Structure 1
Amino acid sequence: MRTALVFLLAVLAAVAAGLLTFRSGSLSQACLAGGAAFGVAFPFFDAVIADV
């Protein structure tokens, strides 16, 4: 259950970053920003939720 929640939050962060980047740039930049946001958000949310 915890892994699904962490994954969902990371995907939401990636989609938000991708959409915001797409509005000001190209699709390739949006994909890179979304991937980077997911890569950073997953360990962050994993650490935050592990403390609860």
Structure 2
Amino acid sequence: MSDNERDPLLDQRTAFILLLGVLAAVGAGALTVLGGQNAAGGVLTASGAFTAAVYFFHKIIR
């Protein structure tokens, strides 16, 4: 079996939802740190934003 015949690890919908989650997390974390919080607060904000964004986009993207 050649490499071209294998199934992808993630389907397009899943990859797109995770990409949007990562983008939301980076944005929220960066804005938190730029707003004066420390790096730990930025990471916590980013993780919450990632979770919320993935759940949100999972519900609205069919």
Tell me if TM exceeds 0.5: yes
Higher helix fraction (1 or 2): 1
User: How many percent of aligned residue pairs carry the same amino acid?
Assistant: 42
- Equivalenced residue count is 50
Encode CA deviations 1:6-36: one digit per residue, 9 max, x unaligned.
0000000000000000112100000000000
Unpaired stretches in structure 2, ≥5 consecutive residues: 1-11
Report whether the alignment pairs 1:2 with 2:13: yes
Normalised to the residue count of structure 2, the TM-score between the two structures is 0.78
Normalised to the residue count of structure 1, the TM-score between the two structures is 0.92
Q: Which has the larger radius of gyration?
A: 2
Q: Which 4+ stretches in 1 moved above 4 angstroms?
A: none
The alignment's C-alpha RMSD in Å is: 0.5
